Structure 1
């Protein structure tokens, strides 16, 4: 069957190109040169005149092009064209992957296949069309219900009281970036946020390119049990501490799943992580060290093009999965001026600021035990800053209700400090 001819016939006789465009049809779907020329004429005509050309207009432009005498239904034609396009993508990808495989390069083979999956995902339309006039009363009722709630937590708890008050929690579809220089505690703060979500109770999935799974488990258990992470690691905890750790670990069996993923080789791509999330179905996804990830499209790791592909892919994933995705990355020490981190301090290009709904910086201070947390970019969140004091000996963190480096007359009451999870 000549699918492009049936498609063009249905468009011309129906006078509308919108259904084909909504289905994702592009010039790349059409292999026949003549059909491609006709398609380009149709799209240009639609843009210029707001509708498809008539059969007379088409015949005037392409006098030898013949329409189908009995065209198949448009929905059927679009389904078949989509299948044909997917097969074309897979065939090309399998050819490239086979070449990589025969050279004994399994990682390159996997990247070729992952790139094909990413391209297939991009071919499927992901727009959502809503007539807001039909949902107005439903929205009004939802707003009233929210206003009547004492606890204004509409998302997943963030682990940070100041952030919860401003955002109402991590929201579905959000991409949030935690940035900071090396050894600023980004991994620990991500784990802390994951524990807050886990206690909600939600199911976190935590992917790390920075730590081993064992190190993650030890840090998580120390935070959960409020004991020294060093003491847990080197075996110097007291009997009371060990009893508390064991009690907390036993209680984990009654809680929702929490998935840890270690990728020491940094081979995971966005499509691979999304595929795992689709299988495990977490409520929230954490990725520690996204600047180390591999790109589905084969760009060099750490290159700004690769990072742009990754952040765009993660933003799309947050929306398609319907969950928050919380990530971490590093800032450039050379771009920190006067000790202050700004959006311009983030390494690897501007895509983090462009794609993230919220960026929070973990900024070291003159006190090794205190970190300043501040917003750099917020799509719908007002600017904020707060401070965290870490007690390494007891494995606790406290969110301070005042600026510990400010004027002593302005210090708040210690009773207002918040013990973090």
Structure 2
């Protein structure tokens, strides 16, 4: 099949966001990989991402009257055909460039060709492995590295003692949510998890569609100050309190800025003229090379148009999971309760997530946060949904003094159990 024909057939067969995910995840193809119909590809990517479906033929021809729309083909087949053609084209380009270099600088041409072909092989193989061909020593090393838990580069702690000690380990490629009612403190818990991993040397990116940039900065200062040994108060930062607090704050700022790391990135939507979208999250995660991406306020993310609330939520959840895989990072978001869950002041159950249970289908792990009768600076936390690993049937009481950033130390109380029906 001619490259132009394969490109036209594939573009004509795109229908859903899942098709775009397959092209990116399986074949490393995006809208820039269609040289004959670049504008058409860009339009289709943007339209399908925004509306959750492909435009009809009339709309597509209205935008591109010279594009010869083909009857829809079997997507899986035509995607594989085009991926093979694209891969061959890339290889031929490298061969052609190397051939020209050979006549001038052969010592540069050969390493050039080897490195480019190796990159192609790496792209093809980075999402697969043949387990029975890997050496025993290599797999045993992987096993032993997991024994060290957080020491592994793909494992993340939460900073919450009972969760880390269980242990519940978060990993790259996972999509994790914090479920809680309004004002319980899910945004603060997300920051606590982010700060824990920043202190472990990770790059953190926080996107908040609902908080102002000033609020994000002050909350970040309190949380990071606590972990760095500075006793800061959010309420004091709000009013610019003079005296001892100001001296402590100045010392903290000097130490933090003096690290020259530039690994704590915050973004909000105020002043942009539009709501933050999943595409915005993907872009900033890629630009900042985030190890941990926090999306604070899942319900506030822009949804594809013409989609019902629950359908748009599922599409966005699926896209965030894709970001976790594509960017090889941990994606952490915060989610509201539904009306039924809001009636109960305890730790929410998995079915209490707002906008239907479908959101949970994209999750790897759900942390649930609720009020605790012990004190106003104590919360109960649990794990009502965990895709893999032993069920966590208990809930735990933890310190939760958000004003001082003291979050995550365990209080010993009588355990509460989840119903086993809550687990998949």
Range into which the TM-score falls when normalised by the shorter chain: 0.5 to 0.7
5 Å matches for 1:6-155? Answer: 28-29=12-13, 82-84=34-36, 86-91=38-43, 128-137=127-136, 138-147=138-147, 149=148, 155=155
Structure 2 match to 1:267? 275
How many angstroms apart in 2 are the aligned matches of 1:263 and 1:136?
A: 49
Structure 2 match to 1:233? 238
Q: Check conservation: 1:299, 1:305, Cα contact below 8 A.
A: no
Structure 2 match to 1:327? 333
Q: What residue ranges of structure 2 are gaps of 5+ in the alignment?
A: 15-30, 49-62, 64-78, 84-123, 226-230, 417-424
How many angstroms apart in 2 are the aligned matches of 1:214 and 1:196?
A: 21
Q: Secondary structure at the match of 2:215?
A: helix
Q: 1:223 to 1:145 in 2, by over 3 A?
A: closer
How many angstroms apart in 2 are the aligned matches of 1:330 and 1:150?
A: 30
Q: 1:94 to 1:390 in 2, by over 3 A?
A: closer
Q: Secondary structure at the match of 2:302?
A: coil
Q: What residue ranges of structure 1 are gaps of 5+ in the alignment?
A: 8-22, 31-78, 97-111, 113-122, 407-421
Q: Secondary structure at the match of 2:313?
A: helix
Q: Check conservation: 2:8, 2:37, Cα contact below 8 A.
A: no
Q: Check conservation: 1:227, 1:396, Cα contact below 8 A.
A: no
How many angstroms apart in 1 are the aligned matches of 2:184 and 2:410?
A: 18
Q: Secondary structure at the match of 1:380?
A: coil
How many angstroms apart in 1 are the aligned matches of 2:410 and 2:43?
A: 57
Structure 1 match to 2:75? none
Q: 1:130 to 1:146 in 2, by over 3 A?
A: closer
Q: Check conservation: 2:160, 2:407, Cα contact below 8 A.
A: no
Structure 2 match to 1:250? 254
TM-score (normalised: structure 2) = 0.64
Alpha-carbon offset, residue 184 of structure 1: 0.8
Q: Secondary structure at the match of 2:407?
A: strand
How many angstroms apart in 2 are the aligned matches of 1:344 and 1:321?
A: 29
Q: Check conservation: 1:177, 1:352, Cα contact below 8 A.
A: no
How many angstroms apart in 1 are the aligned matches of 2:44 and 2:352?
A: 40
Q: 1:405 to 1:93 in 2, by over 3 A?
A: closer
5 Å matches for 1:190-229? Answer: 190-225=190-225, 226-229=231-234
How many angstroms apart in 1 are the aligned matches of 2:415 and 2:13?
A: 61
Structure 2 match to 1:184? 184
Q: Check conservation: 1:363, 1:371, Cα contact below 8 A.
A: yes
Alpha-carbon offset, residue 213 of structure 1: 0.9
Q: 1:235 to 1:141 in 2, by over 3 A?
A: closer
How many angstroms apart in 1 are the aligned matches of 2:146 and 2:33?
A: 45
The answer to whether structure 1 residue 156 and structure 2 residue 153 are counterparts is no
How many angstroms apart in 2 are the aligned matches of 1:299 and 1:370?
A: 42
Structure 2 match to 1:418? none
Alpha-carbon offset, residue 221 of structure 1: 1.4
How many angstroms apart in 1 are the aligned matches of 2:33 and 2:127?
A: 22
Q: Check conservation: 1:266, 1:293, Cα contact below 8 A.
A: no
Aligned residue-pair number: 313
The answer to whether structure 1 residue 288 and structure 2 residue 296 are counterparts is yes
Q: Check conservation: 1:332, 1:345, Cα contact below 8 A.
A: yes
Q: Check conservation: 1:29, 1:81, Cα contact below 8 A.
A: no
Indicate the RMSD between aligned Cα atoms, in angstroms. Answer: 3.6
